[in-house]
């Protein structure tokens, strides 16, 4: 994220508290007396779905602050991926069964000549499709987004949990709570 999107410090922009952007952290937070500003890459929580901010900064009033909390959710896209892989697995299974029947019919006629076709490749294809579906299922089961949700009456902003230390979490909460209580 380019640094030019972060407002300069000075008249009206002196932050009370700020969390700077780093290599590990792809966002920055500045708390001003009347508003909180978010820059960089973060997520909005909209109807239980995470929506990217597309690099646009966000501003929320400190008077609208509701609270901070940890949130862990499964992605609906991953669950949909699992369902699609299951459908593909059943289609591959149906395809292998039909081709297997055709090979058996062909082997009946080829038995008069003394040759036969092999159906081993069908078993390998079915095993590969099964392992892919199983892998996607395990990935969906263990994948969750762990975020810190910062709630305001107008918006819910989420940042990755692993990029925020316990001290930064506590400092941000205390500053926002004290500014909200003054209003």
CA nearest to 51, candidates 14, 77, 22: 77
Q: Is the dihedral of CA 117, 121, 125, 126 positive or negative?
A: positive
pLDDT at 3: 44
For the chain, how far is it from start to end, CA to CA, in angstroms? 33
C-alpha–C-alpha distance, residues 85 and 135, integer Å? 10
Alpha-carbon distance of 155 to 45, in angstroms, equals 8
CA distance linking residue 26 with residue 32, whole number of Å: 20
pLDDT per residue as tens, the chain (183 positions): 444 455 555 445 678 888 888 888 888 999 988 889 999 888 888 877 788 888 788 899 888 888 888 888 777 777 787 888 888 888 888 888 888 888 888 888 877 787 777 778 778 888 888 888 788 878 777 777 788 888 888 889 888 888 888 998 889 999 988 887 766
Tokens of 179: 């500014």
Residue 68 to residues 25, 31, 99: CA-CA distances in angstroms?
18, 14, 57
């Amino acid at each position: 994220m380019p640094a030019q999107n972060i407002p300069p410090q000075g008249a009206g922009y002196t932050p009370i508290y700020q969390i700077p952007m780093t290599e590990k952290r792809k966002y920055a937070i500045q708390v001003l007396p009347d508003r909180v500003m978010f820059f960089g890459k973060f997520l909005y929580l909209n109807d239980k779905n995470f929506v990217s901010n597309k690099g646009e900064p966000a501003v929320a009033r400190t008077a609208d602050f509701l609270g901070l909390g940890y949130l862990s959710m499964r992605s609906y896209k991953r669950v949909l991926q699992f369902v699609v892989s299951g459908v593909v697995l059943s289609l591959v299974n149906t395809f292998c069964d039909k081709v297997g029947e055709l090979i058996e019919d062909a082997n009946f006629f080829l038995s008069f000549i003394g040759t036969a076709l092999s159906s081993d490749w069908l078993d390998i294809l079915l095993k590969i499709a099964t392992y892919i579906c199983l892998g996607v299922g395990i990935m969906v089961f263990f994948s969750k987004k762990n975020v810190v949700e910062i709630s305001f009456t107008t918006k819910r902003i989420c940042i990755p949990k692993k990029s925020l230390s316990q001290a930064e979490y506590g400092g941000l909460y205390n500053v926002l709570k004290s500014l909200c209580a003054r209003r």
